[in-house]
Each structure stands twice: as structure tokens, then as C-alpha cells.
A and B are shown apart, each in its own frame.
Chain A
Amino acid sequence: MKKKEEEKSYALYFFIAVLFLIITSIWLIWWETKTLRPWKNYQKKYHKLAVVQLEKELEQSNAEFSSDRTQKEYNDLKSALAKAKVEFESSAVQTEYKKAGKELGNVSAELKTVRHNFQKLRSRYLKAEYDYIKHSNAKDKLTLDELNKEIAQFDKRITQLESKKKTHKTKLSKMTTPVDELTRKINGFTSDTDNLKKQIASFSNQKVEIKQIHIPDLDRTDRCTSCHIGIDQSRKVSSIEPFTTHPGREIFLRDHEISQFGCTPCHRGQGRATSSVMKGHGDVKYWDYPMLRGDPVQASCILCHEKVKGLRGAETVSFGIGTLERKGCYGCHKIAGYENMPKIGPVLSGIGTKVNYTWEVNWLKDPKSVFPTARMPKFGFSDEEAKAIADYLFKLNVDDRVDTPAKEPDWDLVDKGKGIFRQSRCSICHPAQNKGGAFKNIYAPDLTKVGSKVRIEWLKKWLKKPQEYFPKTRMPRFRFTDEEIDALSEYIMSEFVDWDIEDQKLKEKEPIGEQHMELGARLIEKYGCFGCHDIKGMEKAVRIGPYLKKKDVVNKIGAEISSIGSKPFERFDMGKVADKVKDRESYLKTKLESPRVFRDDLLMPDFGFNEKEIDGLSTMLLGFTAEEVPLRYKVLDIPSGYKPTGDFAKIEKDIKCLTCHTINGVGGGFAPDLTFEGSKVKIEWLRDFLKNPDIIRPMLKQMPMFKLGGEIGMIRGYLSEDEVNIIINYIRTVLVANDIPDDFEMNKRLTDVNAEEGKALFRKKGCLACHQIGKDGGAVGPNLSSVGSRLRPGYLYMHVKDPQKMVPGAVEPRYNMNEEEVLKITRYLVKLQKEKS
């Protein structure tokens, strides 16, 4: 039978509904307080770990304290303290102590009154002085004199009182010293333990709360330390994230205190998010700055540091910037800061007279197949396209496709040329046949196939005056004679021949028709060859690549963000590999590795970057953001603006000292820094060295022979005696350091120093492991056999004292020797003179 409506019971439904409500409420509270606050657990766990770690340390320190020896010492001190206390509290001492205390009080009170009166007197004096200056009255003068006398009296009184106060004080402290001293010592035994106990107690009832770093200047609010709670602590309680400490604390955190810099300015991520690990790290869709980990964090260095070269911890990004400069990315791309850089490639306007046609075609097709260190990227031209471009370029000065085949050389000349090639140390910069090229910072073409590349007439002209063909070249003019040039070019043309290219060479001239001109011009324009090369008729053409970094972008209203490091990931054109590329970093890496993988019609050529270069460049590009930081965070790079002056400048322009050497931060950084050369070396040695550079550095780092000085005068182009004098004079007057003691000063200090003791000390310190003297010793540092003839005593002294002071990167241990030891070793080194032959 059916029940009436009012008789039905809904209790069960209500009960279920109520239960549901209760459960949902409990779940909500749980979700709100636990699930959305994962940092709570992390903090609790950290506190536990910290307590465990501290307890371990406490146990250790307790064990140390309870060891027999410590206990004996401790008890001895305790009994001594008790004795001292008894002595101090004896009635005789106490009366004296109280008496001295009372006297001290009296003296102090008197001193206070006297000082107060002295202040008043001073005011009167100032008034009198003012009157006298204003009116020049004899009466005022009299008052002044009187006041002066009075001041002298006061002075005397104050000194008297002060000395009295001092005696009383010493007397008092003498009585209390033994007790104080012993108490301090005893506390020293337990202070560690007490400290640890205090810390344990504080960790045990530490509050669990959100930690936040707010930096208004950078518009950042970072709550990262809510989970990474021990990140800036020196005590490591665990090596597991998020409890561990920051790796490389000394490098990264010393100058970037977390309270001043926060976390996200360097690491990016979503600093405000606290509800999950993923959100906090910014690994969520549409968050433009996902967290950077490991090396890519260095992208953020360039936000503030204008110069990262040599900056510790920024090696990857610094290598990236070096790669950018070496490969000349700014030829095609606009990059803030690189707008006015000179074009990186050679001038192409005279190419028809410089190289062989077949070589040029091969080169255009794939430069790296000609030599692996080629700087020019591979554009992937077809045979036809390469020929069209070569035709266009040749047509600028010649009418025919020309090749000059290798011919039987004059072997006598070749022999002579080989000697000159070695003497001139060409292989320091130019690699050839897998040897040489030690100077990595500058690009010098590989010479392995150069005999099949260039024409001998051009080579001769080049060797004679490199700047005439390419004014911005960094190659020095070696001042060869015509005969030497003949020999050298004969050697180069015969030694460095590639027979594969020789086989392909044209047998005879082929006239260049008009049919290729249009295609050639179109290709050059399309691929923007003029970005790196000067080409006649295309001087005004603009860069073809997109912006990589735009500086004033934030000031423009509604400006597109065209700095690549802050370009939203959604706006990258992923094309064919959309399913493989998942974030900005992997996009950049893919682009650098194979630039045209995204679409077929892309223009960027293949540079063949290696892994290290890709890492460096992608890190750098991540750092090219539109973000601006306040000036006070910036570390500006103010160049020294050094330029050689006077007659020396003319010589430098010709032989290019600064291609290898550095002066005041300007130059190649390959050969020794010459900034303080004048205070460093002796003139006689310098003169000999310029004439005939001998070995101080290991092979392949030696200085080329420039044929300076010598028997021949200016007419043949060699440096005259005068020019050597100009160089020496410049070095001696301009390139000096004032803090290096001069010869006179050093001779005075060294007169009574025993060189034999210095020798013994030199051997004792193990210097021979790296430096060679005579037949003994290693080859890490310079050979010191005749260092006394080379270096000034003042420089030697400074160097022994602190090797990194003059040469900051010197790989030499600093021994922190005392003055006497430094002088002894200096004396020994000064005595190491070159034997007169």
C-alpha cells in the first residue's frame, strides 16, 4: 500500500545529504589547507631534517667535550676559577676594589664638569674670534689671548684627569681580569653546545608560514623560499631538493644576497605561485618565463652585467657571446649593442683577382668541405646557383672565369720560403694541415688548401701590404723584402695544394656571359651576402634577419616584443616540427642546429655549430629579453678607451701589436698583457727581444719575428733603430705602474739579502715543479734561467709577493710569504743573469 505523502520519511535522504555536505566541507578544508599549501609539508620536513643534522653535530660536540683530555682541562679551569673568585672576594681585595671604584667615579664626575665648562669657554672663544675678525680691535685681541691661555690650562687639566681615569680603570680591570678570563675560557668549552641546543630548540617550535621576498624595484614577489627554505643557509641539512643549499653559493650568492635579489630575476618561474611545484616553477601553459635550471640560468647574467667575459659562473653565456661575435650573427640580425659592428667577412669587390674560379664555386657550395674551421656557413646552393653567384662576383672586376693551375715550383725558393714561414710563426694564427691555430680568439683562414685557392700575384700583394686589400684586417705587415715575399709565396703555393680542386680546374678561360647575372644578383640579395661582405653596388643594402634584441622596446606604446628571449612561445613558427619542439629553449636549439628544418623556404644558413656553441648561443638568446632593470642593478662595462698615441701608434697600426697583446683591456689577449711592461722588463732585454724574440713561452705561443731593428734602414721597410727606440720609449714612459718599486728602491732593499738562502727557499717551496732553471724544472710557467736579465727587481718582488696582483689570472699559488722571504727569493731571481756569450 502506498503511503501518504506526509507519512513518508525522508530521513535517509536528509542524512545522506548532510553527510555529503559534511564530507565536502572536510574535504574543502583539507584541500585548502593541505593540497593547496604543499610548502607546509616541505617546511616541516626541513625543520625535522635540520634538527636531525643539528643533533648529530651536538652529539659530536658532546663527545668531544666529554673526552678525558677536554674534561681534565675543563676541570682544571673550573678549580682555577673557584680559586680566583675566592681571592677576589677576600676582604683586602674587596676594600681596594671598592676604593678604586669610588675614585674612578669621582674622577669621572670631575672630568664631566670640566668638559662642560670647556664647551662654554669654546663658545666664548668663537665669539671673541668673530669680533676680532670683524672689528680688528686691540681689545678683542687681548680677550682672545686671555682665552687662549685659559684654553691651554683646561687642556692640561683634561689630560691630567684622563690619565688618572685610565690608571684607575686599569687598576680595576687588573683585579677582575683573572675571573673574567677564566669564565670566558670555561664558557668557550660549552658555547658550541649551547649554541646548537638553542638552534635545535628554535627549529623544534619554528612556525610554518609563507616566506616572501618583495623587491619593489624589480617588481618581484618571490615566495620560492617557502619550500626552498634552506637555500641560502651555510649548513646543508640534505642534498635533496628543495632542502639543499644553493650550488656555488660563494660565486652566485655572495654578491647577490637573496633578500636583495630574490630568485626569479635569475631563475624566472612564477614567484608568487605557491599551490603546486609545477606552478611555482612556471612550467605551465601561457606562463612566458618557465624556470631556468642549470646552465641556462646564465641567460639572466646579461640582464645586468654588460660584460660577462671572465665573469665567474657565466662561462656558458660568455661563450655564447663570443660565438656571436666570432660568427658575426649581427651581419643578418639586428641586435641591440651590435648595430655598428664592422662586417665580419672579407671585401668581395676584388675577388676576381684574388681566387680561382673553381675554388670559389666549391667554397660557395660548402665552405666546411674546403676546411672544417671555415667561418662562412653553408647556404645549400646548387651547382647552378653557386656558379651564378661566382659569375656575378667575378664580373665585378674580370670578364672571364679564370683558374691558375698549380705548377712545378722552384725548390730552392720553396726551401727558403719554408724557413720564413716558420720564423714568422704564421701557424700561431693560421691552422694548416691540422696543426697550429693556437690563437682561438681571432679568425685566421686555414691554409691547408690555400695554394689551390689564391693566385700568386694576389698573394704577393697581400703579403706586402695586407691593409691595402682589406683595410680592417688584423694581420700585421711583416715588412718582408721582395725576395722574401717571392720565396714565401712560392712555398705557400706549392705546399698547400689540394689535388681534388686542381683536377676540377678549368683548362682555359671561359668568358662570363650575361645569362647568370640576374640569378646571381637575386641570390645575393635574397641571402643577404652583403651583411658580412662589402660588395660593390650593394653598400646600402639592409640586414635581412629578424631582430634578436631590441633595446627601447618597452618605451614604445603597443610595441611588438621582438626580443627573442621574451617572445611568447606560441608566436614561434614551429612549422614541420611542431610536435617535437615543446619550449623556447628547445626551439632555439633546434633552430641553431638545423635552421631550415621548420619550413623549406627559410633563409638562415647552416653554421654547423657544435654542441657547446649551441648551448652558449641558446643561453645567450634566452637572455635577449625586452626587460629593463633599474640602473642600480646594472654592472656597466666602461671600456678604457685606450688608443696608442704618437709615433708608436703608427708602428702599431702597421705591425698590429694589439692583435695579440693587450694594453689597458684593449687587444687580443693572446700574448702577455703589456699594460705595465715598462715597469716589468729591462730595457736592454727589451731591445734584444724586439730584434730577436727568444723563447719564454711554450711552442706555438711564441712571438713572431718582425725583423725589427737589424742592419737595414728604413728604405726597405724594416724597422729602423729609431723605431725600436720609439717603441722602447713608449713602453718605458706610458706603460708603467706606479706601485711597483723602482730599481733604486729595490737595490736598497736587496743589498744585505743572501741569494743562497733565497735559492734554498725557492727549492723548498717547490717552485721547480713548474719553472725551469738551467736543466731542472717543469714547463708550466716561464723558464726562469735568466729571469734576472729580463725582469726588473721591482716587478719580481711584486710577483713573488702576490702573483695575481699584476696578472690577475696567473696560475700560480700565493704563498703569503713574509717580507724577508720575499726579498730572499727576489734576490735569488735577480741573480739569475744571462751568461754573456
Chain B
Amino acid sequence: MRIFSSRILIVVILLVCAVIFSGCSSSETDELSSEQPIHQFSVKEGKRLFQKLCLPCHGESGKGDGIYWASALDLTPTDLTQFTPTESDRIFKTIKYGSEAQGKSNLCPPWKNNHSDEEIGYIVSFVETLK
């Protein structure tokens, strides 16, 4: 009788330990996945650069309705809200090497010597948010 009860006790205690330990590890994994990624900075910095470099032609909303573009030329600025996220790479290259390198007109200039890849990446992150 005595032996039996202590066996039960051991089993019970082991079970309790298992529950506690598994609880610990699962709560930690929850904590890991619940933290959110940070995009805020790149979008904000991108907006600042966008307003400096792109806004005169593409406009505040990116619809291509800026007021300083060369109206006497036939081409109008691109509507940037039409881009889908899959085209991010193309936007990046257009900003970096200019529209001419993408087989279009030469009116959107290349910024590769003024701004680093990281900075151009910020602009792309901002353009992606335009709707």
C-alpha cells in the first residue's frame, strides 16, 4: 500500500514538473512571435526624401500631379500609386539609375551619386505606402 502511494506520488510530481516546464517554454515562444517588426523609420525617412526629391513633379500624393514639372514637354510624371509591391525593385532601379535606364524618357534623373542604396530603399518603402 505504501509503495503504491509513493509511486503515484512520483508520477504526479513528474507530471506537474512537465506541465510547468512546457508552460515556460511555450510562453517564451509566444513572446518571441508577438513582437512587431519596425517599418516606421524607413517610411518616415522615405517620406522626407520623397518630399525633397520627387514631390515637385510627382506631387504630394504621388499621383503625378506635382506643379513644377515641365508642362511644355509632352510626357507627364508617372502616377506612383499604380505600383504594386512586386515592382519595388523596378522603382528602386528607376530612382537609382534614372528612368532612362529603364528604357523610358530621360526626365526622371538618377540619384545614385547623391544618395546611398539605403536611402533609396527608404524612398521605395514610402512609395509602397502610397495609395
Q: List residues of chain A with CB within 8 A of the CB of B118.
A: 249-250
In whole angstroms, how far apart are the Cα atoms of A15 and B12 in the complex? 14
In whole angstroms, how far apart are the Cα atoms of A256 and B57 in the complex? 36
Contact of A247 among B33, B41, B71, B114 (CB under 8 A): B41
Q: Which residue on B lies nearest to A779, using beta carbons? A: B68
Select the residue from A770, A778, A815, A816 with max chain B CB neighbours within 10 A.
A778
User: Is the CB–CB distance between B72 and A769 below 8 Å?
Assistant: no
**Number of residue pairs spanning A and B whose beta carbons lie under 8 angstroms apart:** 119
A602 within 8 A of B: no
User: Is the CB–CB distance between A768 and B40 below 8 Å?
Assistant: no
In whole angstroms, how far apart are the Cα atoms of A815 and B113 in the complex? 7
Q: Which residue on A lies nearest to B77, using beta carbons? A: A769
Q: List residues of chain B with CB within 8 A of the CB of A775.
A: 72
Q: List residues of chain A with CB within 8 A of the CB of B35.
A: 240-242
In whole angstroms, how far apart are the Cα atoms of A816 and B110 in the complex? 11
Q: Which residue on A lies nearest to B56, using beta carbons? A: A780
Which one, A34-42, A88-96, A261-269, is touching chain B?
A34-42
In whole angstroms, how far apart are the Cα atoms of A775 and B70 in the complex? 10
In whole angstroms, how far apart are the Cα atoms of A26 and B98 in the complex? 65
B111 within 8 A of A: yes
Q: How many residues of chain A get a CB closer than 8 Å to chain B's CBs?
A: 50
A715 within 8 A of B: no
A772 within 8 A of B: yes
Beyond A45-B32, A780-B68, A804-B114, is A766–B17 a contact (Cβ under 8 Å)? no
Interface string of A751-776 (1 = CB under 8 A from B): 00000000000001110111010011
A109 within 8 A of B: no
In whole angstroms, how far apart are the Cα atoms of A27 and B31 in the complex? 21
A139 within 8 A of B: no
Contact of A34 among B24, B67, B107 (CB under 8 A): B24
B36 CB → nearest A CB, Å: 7
B57 CB → nearest A CB, Å: 7
Contact of B37 among A15, A35, A244 (CB under 8 A): A244
Interface string of B21-59 (1 = CB under 8 A from A): 100100010011101111111100100100011001100
Contact of A814 among B31, B32, B114 (CB under 8 A): B114
User: Is the CB–CB distance between A776 and B70 below 8 Å?
Assistant: yes
B116 within 8 A of A: yes
In whole angstroms, how far apart are the Cα atoms of A176 and B16 in the complex? 72
In whole angstroms, how far apart are the Cα atoms of A811 and B115 in the complex? 11
User: Is the CB–CB distance between B28 and A41 below 8 Å?
Assistant: yes
Beyond A770-B56, A811-B53, is A239–B37 a contact (Cβ under 8 Å)? yes
B79 CB → nearest A CB, Å: 17
Q: List residues of chain B with CB within 8 A of the CB of A777.
A: 70, 72-73
User: Is the CB–CB distance between A813 and B111 below 8 Å?
Assistant: yes
A300 CB → nearest B CB, Å: 16
B117 CB → nearest A CB, Å: 9
User: Is the CB–CB distance between B69 and A23 below 8 Å?
Assistant: no
B97 CB → nearest A CB, Å: 11
In whole angstroms, how far apart are the Cα atoms of A294 and B13 in the complex? 47
In whole angstroms, how far apart are the Cα atoms of A299 and B33 in the complex? 30
Q: List residues of chain A with CB within 8 A of the CB of B119.
A: 250
Interface residues of B in 84-105 (CB under 8 A from A): 98, 100, 105
B19 CB → nearest A CB, Å: 13
Q: List residues of chain A with CB within 8 A of the CB of B45.
A: 248, 251, 313
A11 within 8 A of B: yes
A554 within 8 A of B: no
B130 within 8 A of A: no
B23 CB → nearest A CB, Å: 11
User: Is the CB–CB distance between A23 and B5 below 8 Å?
Assistant: no
Beyond A15-B9, A241-B38, A247-B41, is A766–B105 a contact (Cβ under 8 Å)? yes
Q: List residues of chain A with CB within 8 A of the CB of B116.
A: 250
A284 within 8 A of B: no
User: Is the CB–CB distance between A778 and B53 below 8 Å?
Assistant: no
B106 within 8 A of A: yes
User: Is the CB–CB distance between B68 and A770 below 8 Å?
Assistant: yes
User: Is the CB–CB distance between B57 and A780 below 8 Å?
Assistant: yes
User: Is the CB–CB distance between A769 and B53 below 8 Å?
Assistant: no
Interface string of A790-828 (1 = CB under 8 A from B): 000000000000001000000101111000000000000
User: Is the CB–CB distance between B6 and A12 below 8 Å?
Assistant: yes
B80 within 8 A of A: no
User: Is the CB–CB distance between B36 and A241 below 8 Å?
Assistant: yes
In whole angstroms, how far apart are the Cα atoms of A789 and B12 in the complex? 97
B55 CB → nearest A CB, Å: 9
B15 CB → nearest A CB, Å: 12
Select the residue from A26, A30, A248, A766 with max chain B CB neighbours within 10 A.
A766
Q: List residues of chain A with CB within 8 A of the CB of B111.
A: 813
Q: List residues of chain A with CB within 8 A of the CB of B2.
A: 9, 11-12
In whole angstroms, how far apart are the Cα atoms of A824 and B100 in the complex? 21
Beyond A778-B69, A780-B57, is A16–B9 a contact (Cβ under 8 Å)? yes
B110 CB → nearest A CB, Å: 6
In whole angstroms, how far apart are the Cα atoms of A777 and B62 in the complex? 20
B60 CB → nearest A CB, Å: 15
A542 within 8 A of B: no
In whole angstroms, how far apart are the Cα atoms of A819 and B35 in the complex? 53
Contact of B98 among A251, A315, A766, A814 (CB under 8 A): A766
B8 CB → nearest A CB, Å: 12
Q: List residues of chain A with CB within 8 A of the CB of B68.
A: 698, 770, 778-780
In whole angstroms, how far apart are the Cα atoms of A35 and B31 in the complex? 13
Contact of B107 among A16, A41, A240, A768 (CB under 8 A): A768
In whole angstroms, how far apart are the Cα atoms of A277 and B68 in the complex? 50
In whole angstroms, how far apart are the Cα atoms of A247 and B109 in the complex? 27
User: Is the CB–CB distance between A778 and B114 below 8 Å?
Assistant: no
In whole angstroms, how far apart are the Cα atoms of A24 and B63 in the complex? 66
* 6 intermolecular pairs with C-beta atoms under 8 Å apart: A11-B2, A240-B33, A765-B106, A769-B57, A772-B70, A813-B111
Apart from A45-B32, A240-B33: 10 A-B pairs, beta carbons within 8 A: A15-B6, A240-B32, A241-B38, A766-B106, A768-B107, A770-B70, A772-B70, A778-B70, A778-B73, A811-B52
Smallest CB-CB A-B distances: 9 pairs: A766-B106, A778-B70, A247-B41, A769-B107, A239-B37, A813-B109, A814-B113, A780-B56, A241-B35
Interface residues of B (CB under 8 A from A): 2, 5-6, 9-10, 13, 17, 20-21, 24, 28, 31-33, 35-42, 45, 48, 52-53, 56-57, 67-73, 98, 100, 105-111, 113-114, 116, 118-119
Interface residues of A (CB under 8 A from B): 9, 11-12, 15-16, 19, 23, 26-27, 30, 34-35, 38, 41-42, 45, 239-242, 244, 247-251, 277, 294, 313, 315, 698, 764-766, 768-770, 772, 775-780, 804, 811, 813-816
